[in-house]
């Protein structure tokens, strides 16, 4: 059997990693400024993380959601406290797409409505409803296009008011900061107005924090920059440092019913152990503080690099935009300078999503490499 060939791959084969570095099968060392799509939050193979998973695996790795699992309650309590979202309830699943699927399903259950408002250049996943609310026709099959979705321009509140005025909208789904789309984001005024009109019309506001959550933006969740309270929050990528997990945070005014949502693997013992460990490390090592310090340093140092059009994003969810497509630049960085970076739907954007543990000295390495490559 061969692999189903859907991924364009770089000719690099990582076999080990530590902190912000990855080594390939030729023992070449790479600085990881991409973290596998922003997944690596507390650094590769962090010793506390490895220990937590190893210890749990010697006890019990998995059982389904038909028995008590105290680790789920420990994770919920810790996540609520550290994130400042203790007035939400937690549903655990396996990925960001699955989290968004469940969030959209829940909104439809609660409101009894079908249509969803999403935004231009959004990305919410590749499965059923999640891909339907993703603004990319190339990854939507005919079965996905049956969903009732309206895409609006970001930051145009009048369009949102007009559409919600039709009284058929179950949810507005929006990223805290757009990821794949190219690091665009709503203004504070826009977020506040969207929250207001959703409350008025009985439409649920879903904040997709799959990539922007878990401290990556400099707040635990990016929406916290805007002082709003979403009805539902989804998160996944940084949650367990690479172990598959996703989560839906549901405002506690919405009540659960048996069978409303479900999953076989979600919230299993190993996933919970990994996620608890990540929260412990974020807290113990003051990683959100580090994100903000490194972000300020990055903004200062990147000004020394020529040919840059603008810097987008916040914290360690950043985009460096040029007046040219960055495909060749990314190749030179990875093969000549041994630095991983990311791309976006905006072909002129270099995406920077390093582990939250990255240091200013490692930013210096990137800045030097970028200057030399752009000469």
Q: Give residues with Cβ within 8 angstroms of 87, minimum separation 6.
A: 80, 251, 252
- pLDDT for position 301: 96
* Alpha-carbon gap, residue 280 to 48, rounded angstroms: 9
* Alpha-carbon gap, residue 338 to 37, rounded angstroms: 17
| Domains and their CATH numbers in the chain | 48-284 (3.40.640.10)
In this predicted model, what pLDDT tens digit does every residue of 236-248 receive, in sequence order? 999 999 999 999 9
- pLDDT for position 233: 98
Any idea of the CA torsion for 13, 16, 17, 18, to the nearest 10 degrees? -160
- pLDDT for position 110: 97
* Alpha-carbon gap, residue 66 to 162, rounded angstroms: 44
pLDDT at 43 over 90: yes
Average pLDDT over residues 109-120: 98
Both structure tokens of 25: 């099968």
- pLDDT for position 45: 98
pLDDT at 225 over 90: yes
In this predicted model, what pLDDT tens digit does every residue of 49-71 receive, in sequence order? 999 999 999 999 999 999 999 99
In this predicted model, what pLDDT tens digit does every residue of 180-192 receive, in sequence order? 999 999 999 999 9
* Alpha-carbon gap, residue 372 to 375, rounded angstroms: 5
Averaged pLDDT score across all residues of the chain: 97
**Terminus-to-terminus CA distance in the chain, angstroms?**
45
Note the pTM of the prediction, 2 decimals: 0.97
* Alpha-carbon gap, residue 106 to 120, rounded angstroms: 23
* Alpha-carbon gap, residue 78 to 239, rounded angstroms: 12
Please tell me the total number of residues recorded for the chain in this structure.
375
Please list, residue by residue across 155-176, b when 16 or more beta carbons sit within 10 angstroms of its beta carbon and e when fewer do: bebebbeebbeeeebbbbbbbb
User: What are 22's strand-pairing partners?
Assistant: 17, 30
In this predicted model, what pLDDT tens digit does every residue of 272-286 receive, in sequence order? 999 999 999 999 999
Side by side, which strands form the sheet with 169-175? 88-93, 246-251, 232-235, 204-208, 169-175, 115-119, 149-152
- pLDDT for position 342: 96
- pLDDT for position 375: 84
Q: How confident is the model at residue 23 (pLDDT cuts 50, 70, 90)?
A: very high
């Amino acid at each position: 059997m061969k692999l189903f060939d859907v991924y364009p791959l770089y000719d690099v084969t990582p076999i080990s990693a530590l902190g912000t570095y990855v080594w390939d099968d030729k023992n070449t060392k790479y600085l990881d400024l991409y973290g596998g799509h922003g997944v690596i939050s507390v650094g590769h193979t962090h010793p506390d993380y490895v220990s937590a998973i190893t210890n749990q695996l010697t006890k019990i790795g998995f059982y389904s959601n038909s028995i008590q699992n105290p680790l789920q309650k420990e994770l919920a309590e810790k996540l609520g406290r550290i994130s400042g979202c203790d007035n939400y309830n937690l549903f655990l699943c396996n990925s960001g797409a699955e989290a968004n699927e469940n969030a959209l399903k829940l909104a439809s259950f609660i409101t009894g409505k079908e249509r969803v408002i999403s935004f231009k250049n959004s990305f919410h996943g590749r499965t059923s409803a999640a891909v339907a609310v993703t603004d990319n026709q190339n990854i939507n099959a005919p079965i996905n296009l049956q969903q009732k979705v309206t895409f609006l321009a970001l930051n145009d509140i009048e369009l949102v008011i007009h559409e919600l005025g039709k009284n058929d909208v179950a949810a507005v789904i929006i990223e805290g900061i757009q990821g794949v789309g190219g690091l665009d984001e709503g203004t504070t005024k826009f977020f506040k107005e969207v929250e207001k009109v959703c409350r008025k019309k009985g439409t649920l506001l879903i904040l997709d924090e799959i990539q922007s959550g878990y401290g990556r933006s400099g707040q635990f969740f990016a929406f916290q920059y805007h002082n709003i309270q979403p009805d539902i929050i989804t998160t996944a990528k940084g949650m367990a440092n690479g172990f598959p997990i996703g989560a839906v945070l549901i405002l506690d005014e919405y009540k659960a019913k048996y069978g409303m949502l479900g999953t076989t693997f979600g919230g299993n013992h190993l996933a919970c152990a990994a996620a608890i460990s990540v929260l412990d490390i974020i807290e113990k090592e003051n990683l959100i503080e580090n994100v903000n310090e490194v972000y300020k340093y990055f903004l200062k140092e990147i000004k020394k690099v020529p040919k840059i059009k603008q810097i987008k994003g916040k914290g360690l969810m950043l985009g460096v935009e040029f007046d040219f497509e960055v495909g060749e630049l990314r190749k030179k960085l990875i093969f000549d300078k041994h630095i991983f970076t990311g791309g976006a739907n905006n072909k002129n954007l270099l995406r920077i999503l390093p582990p939250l543990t990255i240091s200013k000295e490692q930013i210096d390495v990137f800045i030097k490499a970028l200057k030399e490559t752009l000469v």
